[in-house]
Amino acid sequence: MSQERKPLVSHIFTADPSAHVFNGKIYIYPSHDIPHDGEDNDDGDEYRMEDYHILSLDNPDAPCVDHGCALHMKDVPWVSKQMWAPDAAYKDGKYYLYFPARDKDGIFRLGVAAGDDPAGPFVPEADCIPGSYSIDPAVLADDDGKFYIYYGGLWGGQLEMWQSGSFNPDEHRPEGDEPAIGPMFAELDDDMKHFRTEPKHLQILDENGEPLKAGDEDRRYFEGPWMHKFGGKYYLSYSTGTTHYLVYAESDRPDGPFTYRGRIMEPVIGWTTHHSIVEYKGKWYLFYHDCELSNGINHRRCVKFTELHIAPDGTIETIRPYD
């Protein structure tokens, strides 16, 4: 029986799924929502995740397996709280889990942990990735053997607080016709635990080659970057945040600039939207989350997936999640 558009698991709340094919199976790396009765706010204090449970599917029609806790924040020396949306990568016999969390000063950083199995357990580095900040890491294993990391989220993700080059919680938020802030990009070093290149903001352009504006909330970047390749081109997809769309942009290079192409998915139940795109046996799939399982409680989400239809020119057919 197809698992499409149904919660993959219901015994825990999961969100922010990063899907990969390892060893012929689909592995999903989500965050783990913890139920509580606190209030929601723009800083995301309601998202109190403490650990990661890795999920897997033998195929899209198979039942989902929860492999248990693969990493807990108590095992990561630099973390104080909020282990948010993760991703994973494989290189030379090792699996790497990338994750954001607040350090002891309350600043979001990126961490990395390594393991011998795609389901974990993962052993974390004692400190965060040097020079990292903000949230939502996503790693692309390119065809030439290079690995690139994309990351960053506005508001509670603190991305705009680093515009001066150092952390400033009172930094001005771009608005109106000011250029929008793009996600961060860096190449990973051979050890997969450091940046090889200086991180930089990616530029996302409109159809006229002009940078997207901060006030263009239907198209500008907010959080949740993902990168997939199709037909030799790079496709950056992301959440628009306030307008709750998943959208995408295209480039000939992994570091852009990217040109906005269109909308992947209309809004789901709940405030956040966060996704990944993966190919499995010639078909493409979108993994995402919504709050259907909790009847709309923002910090009690469930991971789902659906088939993604991509035209030969790379155009993605827009999904209406409840049709």
Question: Can you tell me the distance from the alpha carbon of 277 to that of 24, in angstroms, rounded to the nearest whole number?
Answer: 16
The catalytic residue among 223, 250, 290, 292 is 223
Question: Is residue 223 among the annotated active site residues?
Answer: yes
Distance CA 82, CA 101 (A): 5
Across-strand partners of 22? 25
Q: Which two tokens stand for residue 272?
A: 């956040």
Cβ atoms of 86 and 137 within 8 Å: the answer is yes
143-200-50 Cα angle (round to 5): 85
Nearest 5 degrees, angle CA 222-CA 214-CA 238?
A: 25
Residue position matching structure tokens 């400033």:
168
Helices (H), the chain: none
Contact between 273 and 265 (Cβ < 8 Å):
yes
Residue type, 199: P
C-alpha 212/C-alpha 93 separation (Å) is 40
Distance of CA 6 to the CA centre of its chain: 20
| Catalytic site residue from 16, 87, 250, 290 | 16
Catalytic residues: 16, 223
